[in-house]
Amino acid sequence: MKNIFTYLLFIFLIVALYGFAFSFAQSKGIDAKKVFESQKCNACHMVTTAGITSKKKDAVDLSTVGSTYKADFLAKYIKKDAKIKDMAHKVAFKGTDEEQTLLVKWLASLKKK
Ligand code: HEC
């Protein structure tokens, strides 16, 4: 009887851990990509490594942008509070702070292999 209880507890733990890891992975990757698309970043950018394409022919690929810039800089840059080579970004980010954090964290994680 005690064995069955331990066994069930074990199964329950595995399921709980799996669910937790899964939802964590989702909020890290998929949601940031959704923000990227809902904020129309893909009108001018592609992220080939994440399967995001753009209709624009000379779109700037952000696949390795995390190797060049850190999250806090990117956060300012997409809000036009920081410049790259004396140039502000074309558009200012219009999403919520939460979306911005999610997006720049994801962008900063895109690094050269
Ligand atoms: C209207 C077109 C346009 C839109 C929309 C746009 N960008 Fe850009 N973005 C550009 C251009 C053009 C550059 C390149 C500037 C340069 O290199 O001189 C750029 C550069 C960048 C860079 C720096 C890349 C590098 O390596 O220098 C980042 C990061 C970036 N954009 C993020 C975003 C994000 C995030 C969004 C969505 C919120 C977005 N952009 C939407 C046009 C756009």
Q: How far is the CA of 65 from the centre of ligand 1 (A)?
A: 10
Q: How far is the CA of 44 from the centre of ligand 1 (A)?
A: 7
Under CATH, what is the fold of the domain 2-108? Cytochrome Bc1 Complex; Chain D, domain 2 (1.10.760)
What pLDDT does residue 34 have?
A: 93
User: 4 Cβ partners below 8 Å, 6+ apart?
Assistant: none
Flag whether pLDDT at 4 surpasses 80: yes
Over residues 35-94, the pLDDT tens digits come to 999 999 999 999 999 999 999 999 999 999 999 999 999 999 999 999 999 999 999 999
The token pair that represents 11 in the structure block: 């199964």
Q: How far is the CA of 113 from the centre of ligand 1 (A)?
A: 22
Is residue 63 within 8 A of residue 110, CB to CB? The reply is yes
Domain residue ranges in the chain: 2-108
What pLDDT does residue 30 have?
A: 55
Residue whose CA is at the smallest distance from ligand 1 atom 37? 41
- The pTM (predicted TM-score) of the whole model is 0.80
Average pLDDT for residues 21-44, to the nearest whole number? 80
What pLDDT does residue 65 have?
A: 97
